[in-house]
Structure 1
Amino acid sequence: MTWACGIDGCGEVFEEIEDAIIHQTSEHQRRECKVCGVVVPDGYLALRHAFNEHTRAEYVRAYDANSDDVREREEVKDEVEATADLQQVVERLNDSGSL
């Protein structure tokens, strides 16, 4: 399985999900959460923040999303978390100074 970066039509493809997350974190602009204002890396880490820190209703209101949008993003988040070695991602980002 390959993983494509879905940020702003980037489309860069990775063999490993960990490489995709690191790419999103280090190569793309950080975003301000529309719910709480914290600045987070775009991509998976932004999804993780949104769904771990806020209710679905807050997300829907802040991002003008609907239930299909929420479901799609939750599926991406769940698939990444089922596949990725997130400890490896944290270690690599810490080593590179990207966190």
Structure 2
Amino acid sequence: MPWDCGIDGCGETFDDVEPAIIHQATEHERRECKVCGTIVPDGYLSIRHVFTEHSRAEYVRAYSASSEDVREREDLLEEIGSVANMEQIATELKR
């Protein structure tokens, strides 16, 4: 299954999810978390940050998100989390 970047119409496609996440973290601008102000990589890692470090209610308030937005991101986290090798991603990003 190909993985698309999905950030601002980037259009990059990857055979595996790990290179897609690494691409998002290294080739796109970092973002400030609207809940806590932490600077995080855009894309999956940004979503992962906000949904693991903050409550759903905080996310909804800070990002003016709908319940559909929450479900979409939770589904994405579950899908990617079930196949991504986070250790490999962390190792690559430390280089």
- For 2:37, what is the secondary structure of its paired residue? coil
Equivalent residue runs for 1:1-99 within 5 Å: 1-95=1-95
Tell me the distance in 2 between the aligned counterparts of 1:73 and 1:52. 12
- Tell me the amino acid that sits aligned with residue 64 of structure 1: S
Relative to the length of structure 1, the TM-score reads 0.94
- Tell me the amino acid that sits aligned with residue 87 of structure 1: E
Tell me the distance in 1 between the aligned counterparts of 2:38 and 2:4. 26
> Residue deviations 1:40-67, cap 9 Å, x none?
0000100110000111011011111100
Which protein has the bigger helix share?
A: 1
Tell me the distance in 2 between the aligned counterparts of 1:80 and 1:40. 18
Q: Percent identity?
A: 61
- Tell me the amino acid that sits aligned with residue 15 of structure 1: D
- Tell me the amino acid that sits aligned with residue 32 of structure 2: E
- For 2:8, what is the secondary structure of its paired residue? helix
- Structure 2 residue ranges without an equivalent (≥5): none
Tell me the distance in 1 between the aligned counterparts of 2:80 and 2:7. 15
Relative to the length of structure 2, the TM-score reads 0.98
The runs of at least 4 aligned residues of structure 1 exceeding 6 Å deviation read: none
